[in-house]
Amino acid sequence: MRLLFVVDPLPDLKACKDSSVAMMRAAAARGHEIWATSVDRLRWECGERGEGVAAEAVALTIAADDRDWYRAHAAQTLRLADCGAVLMRKDPPFDIEYVTATWLLEQAEREGARVFNRPRALRDHSEKLALAEFAGFAPPSLVTRDATRLAAFIEREGDTILKPLDGMGGRGVFRVRGDDPNRNVIIETLSGDGARSVMAQRFLPAIADGDKRVLLIGGEVVPYCLARVPKPGETRGNLAVGGFGEVRPLTARDREIGAALAPVMAARGLLFVGIDVIGDCLTEINVTSPTCMVEIAKGSDVDPAALFVAALERACAS
C-alpha cells in the first residue's frame, strides 16, 4: 500500500524520538511504500487538466540509522485519492494554513482518499477544549477571554495553570497563585488583552509524579504510558522543556479514562490519539500529531508504531 505522510520538513524530524518516523519504519517493515509531503505542497485544481487534490511528494527509502534515516527519491506529483492512505502528521500551530490543509484533505476524501486522522475530526477537536466533552474526568477548568473571570477562577482555586488553546510542548504555560503579583499581567499577556481565549485549570500536585501520555490506537488503549516528570523547579513535564520520561504500566484510572475515550475517538476517524493524565484527571486530548511511540517501545514489550500500522491496515480494508 502506498502511504503518503504529510509532515514537517524531513530534516527537522528527529528519528531517535519522532513518532512519524516510527510509523514510517513500522510501515516499511510491513512492505508498504513510504512517501512524504508537506502542507505547502498540497493543492487542488479543476479544469481540463485538473487532477483534484494532489501534492508534490517524494518516495522514501527508510533506514535504521537515526542520523541518516531516509533517502528521498525524485519528487513526483501524487493524486491523494491514488494513495492507499494519507497520514496527516503536521505539527501545530493550528493556524489558518493548518485549517486550509484540512479543507484540502477533506476534498481529497470526497475524491476517494483515506485520510487519518480524519481532517474534519482534526478541526472539530481542539486539543485543549475537547476536554469539555469528557468533563467528568477533568479537573476544575475554565475557558474564557474574560480577565475578570480568569482572575476569579485563580482566586477560587488558589493555585492554577493557565495555557493558550493553540500551544504545544508546554509553551506559554504558566502556574499562577492567587497572591501572585504578576497575575494580572500574565492574564493580559496570554489573552492578548481579551483578544484570545485562555484555559485555566486547577493545579494538580500529582504533576510531581509525571504528566502521563496515554496512547489510543484504533479504538484500543495501549497498556503502557510515558510519564513525563518535571525537572527540579519546573511545573511542566513536557520533554520539550526538560522533563524526563519514564515508561509505566497504566493504572486502573488510566485504563478507565482511556477506555471511555478510545471508541469515541476511533468512531470519528481519529486513529491515533494521545491523552494526557495527571494523577486521576484528564487534562488534554491530543489529535494533531501525538508523540511518545518511540519512548514507550523502548521501555516496554509493546511497539505502538506497529500497533498503529496494523490498525491502519484494518481501517483501509474496511
Q: Which residues form the catalytic set?
A: 128, 163, 213, 228, 236, 276, 284, 286
Q: Are 226 and 246 in contact (CB under 8 A)?
A: yes
Cα 194 to Cα 131, 141, 149, 191, distances in angstroms: 22, 18, 11, 5
b/e code 234-260 from CB counts within 10 Å (16+ = b): ebbbbbebebebebbebeeebeebbee
Taking the CA atoms of 252, 257, 259 and 262 in sequence, report the sign of the dihedral they define.
Answer: negative
C-alpha 43/C-alpha 260 separation (Å) is 37
Query: Can you tell me which residue has the cell 480494508?
Result: 317
**C-alpha cell read off for 263:** 471508541
What is the β-pairing status of strands 141-144 and 115-116?
A: unpaired
Q: Supply φ then ψ for residue 316, to 5 degrees.
A: -75, -25
The single residue listed with the C-alpha cell 485549570 is 201
Residue 19's SS3 state is helix
DSSP per-residue letters across 153-170: HHHHHSEEEEEETT--TT
